[in-house]
Amino acid sequence: MTTVIAALIVGAGISAIATWIIRRWSNLHGFIDRPGGHKGHSAPVALGGGVAVTLAILLPVLAATLVAKLFAVDCPAWVPAEFAVHFDGILSKLPMAMGVAAAMAAMCILGLIDDAHPLGPRIKLLVQLVIALFLVVGFDLRLLAHLGPGPSVVLSVVWILVLTNSLNFLDNMDGLTAGVAIIAAAVFGATSMLAGQLFVPTWCWLLVGALAGFLPYNFHPASIYLGDAGSLVVGLMLAILTILTTFADPAQGHRPFGVIAPLVVMAVPLYDTISVVFLRWRSGVPVWTGDRRHFSHRLVRRGMAVRRAVMIIWLATLVTSLPALLLPRASWPMACVIVAQTLLVVVLVALLESPGSVKRSS
C-alpha cells in the first residue's frame, strides 16, 4: 500500500509541475492548438500536456529501476524498508518495464510529431501497429494466451490499437479523456491489488496520479491540452494495464467472467468510438476525419454545458466501472446482472443524447 500511495503522490506532483512548465514553454514558443474548423475552443490553447503526463509516469519508473539496480545487493540504511523489500521484484520485471517505457516514449513522440505537423492516418496507424507488435511479440504481452499464439497475438494487437485510438477519439472536450482514464486506471489498479499484484497497480496509480496532476489545467476552460502526445499514450497504457491485470485466476478463486471486466470498464469510451465511426460512415466521410459528432458534442448540442456533459460521461464511466471490481469473483447470475447494467447504462446515455431527449423551445 505504501508503494501505491507513493506512486500516486509522486505521479501527481511531477505532472503538476511539468504541466505548468510545458504550458509556459508552449505559449512562449507558439506550440498551441488554434481554433477553427471542427474545434470548439475560441482562443489558442497550449499543447504538450501529454509530455508532462508521460514524464510523470516514466521518470519514477526509471528512478525506481536505477535505485533497485544500485542497491539490490547492498542496500543503505537510508532507503526505507518498505521500498527496499521490492528491489528484487523490480529487477525481475525490468524487461517488461523497459519495454512498456519504450513503447510509451515512441507513442508520445508519434503524437508530438502529429501535434506539430499533422500526419496522415495511415502513417499513424502503421507506427501504432509496430508499437503494438513490439509489445505483444517482443514481450509476450498477450490477451487470452490459452487460445494459442496466433489468435492471442491478433486479439492483443487489435485490442491495443482499438483502445489507443478510442482514447484518442475521446479527447475532444476539456478534461474528458483525463477524467475517464483516471476512473478506469483506478479500477484496474484496485482489481490488480485485490489479485495480489504489485507491478501492475504501481503503474495504474502512477497513471492516475499523472492525470490527476494534469486535470486542473485541462478542465474547462482548459489552458493546456493532452494532444495526441497524451491521448495516444493514455490509451496505450490502459490497453497494456488491462492485459497485465489478473482478472481471472482459478488458483485465487477467480471466475472466468473476470476477463470481460475491461469491456465493462471501457464501455463508454468504446460506445463513443463505435457511434462516431458509424455516424461518419453513414455520412460518407472517412472515419478518421475530425468532426463534432462525438458523444460529448451531441450532449452539448442537446443543450448541456460543456462541464456538465463531461461530468455526465465521467459518471457513466464510474457507474459501469465499479461493478467490474466484482467480476473476478462473481457467480454467473451476478456477472449477467453486471453486464446487463453496463448495457443499460449505454442505452441510457444513447437515449440521453437522442434528438427527442431535450424539448426544443419555439
Q: How far is CA 226 from each of CA 99, 115, 116, 131, 194, rounded to the nearest angstrom? A: 23, 10, 13, 20, 31
Mean pLDDT for the chain overall: 87
What's the total number of domains in the chain? 1
Cα(283)–Cα(285) distance, integer angstroms: 6
The grid coordinates of residue 285 equal 466521410
Q: Is residue 122 part of a domain?
A: yes
- Domain coverage including residue 175: 2-356
Neighbours of 221 (CB within 10 A): 13
Question: pLDDT at position 253, please?
Answer: 60
Judge contact between 270 and 238, C-beta under 8 A: no
Confidence of residue 75 (pLDDT cuts 50, 70, 90): confident
Question: pLDDT at position 236, please?
Answer: 97
- State what percent of residues in the chain have pLDDT above 70: 91
Q: Is residue 62 part of a domain?
A: yes
Q: Is residue 361 part of a domain?
A: no
More confident residue, 268 or 42: 268
pLDDT at 202 over 80: yes
Lowest mean pLDDT among 215-219, 221-225, 272-276: 272-276
Confidence of residue 310 (pLDDT cuts 50, 70, 90): very high
Q: Is residue 303 part of a domain?
A: yes
Question: pLDDT at position 248, please?
Answer: 62
Q: Is residue 77 part of a domain?
A: yes
pLDDT at 332 over 80: yes
Question: pLDDT at position 259, please?
Answer: 80
Which residue stretches of the chain are H helix? 2-29, 49-71, 81-84, 87-92, 94-116, 121-138, 149-170, 176-194, 199-218, 228-244, 261-265, 267-283, 295-301, 306-321, 332-352
Question: pLDDT at position 258, please?
Answer: 76
Q: Is residue 362 part of a domain?
A: no
The grid coordinates of residue 8 equal 500516486
